Structure 1
Amino acid sequence: MTQVRLAPAVRADCRLVADAGEAEEHHRIRHAVFVVEQEVFASSDLDAHDARPDVLHAVAWVDGRAAGVVRLFPLDPATGDWQGDRLAVLPAFRAVRVGAPLVRFAVATAAARGGTRMVAHVQQDNRRFFERLGWTARASEIYVGRPHVVMDIELAPPG
């Protein structure tokens, strides 16, 4: 049996973008991961959601450096459904487990704003990561030409 040693997790300070400089860092990381590294998008991963006033952009900071990002927004205020997407962690921070705090932050943030369920369209390779965080796979799909899994998680009320 092969054992995998994980690097110790670092402290990631996850918070919503507070100003134009932090928004620039958020978009820089998304571009680096989704356009340059993974080539999911040809030139930009920005879409109409980024212009919505109710969309929240978050950044995980490690020792003052932007390490990863996530975007979240309400899908249907009547049902409390939210979507989390554009989760991206720079390669240098993946081994120190910055992704999990970002996902937990997105879930807690949506719950604090009245969300009852969060949905995500997750790249197939990241399915187990999300399952370990309590998410449930609901369906398979092809998104931007790549296998994805529709996943969701029930949001606990704050408190």
Structure 2
Amino acid sequence: MWRPDPDPPSFEFYNPGGLPEDITPQNITEKQYSRNPIIAKVLAKVKYIEELGEGWNKIIKEHQTHPLKPKKPRIKSDKYTSLITVFSTKDKFEKVKEIIELNERQKQGLEYVKERGSLSNKEYRKLFSEITDRTVLNDLKDLVKKGILRGVGKTKAARYYLVIPK
């Protein structure tokens, strides 16, 4: 049974049966168990379900390889119920969306920082000789505000470095 969580950054999967006795949230990817192995085998043969335990392993693998690195799923279980919470990447996606919404100068400036390690106002100005000093400052301030660059020093003498994502 699936029910949406009132907190949108996650989904909860509720099962009115607890995990089997020897399965715990810590060993769930190593141990698999079917309450009805004959039915599970028949359903797998007709491709109605996947192999035993394969679905959970896929969920874990997707989380580990997802580019936005979501939090690991949380499993709570007792004798009578199981509750699995799968977390969204909504917050991280918003950050990436901001990065995508950069102007072309800002994108080129970021490439420059990636290649050379940092960028100054003067270097940014040389890259785009057609823009004013005010536009240089506005572009760089916007990158700092979005958490993409970190400025060190005062306005014109500042150097800008990439912020390392956590």
Is TM > 0.5 for Structure 1 vs Structure 2?
no
Q: Which has the higher helix share?
A: 2
Q: Which is greater in Rg? A: 2
Q: Which has the higher strand share?
A: 1
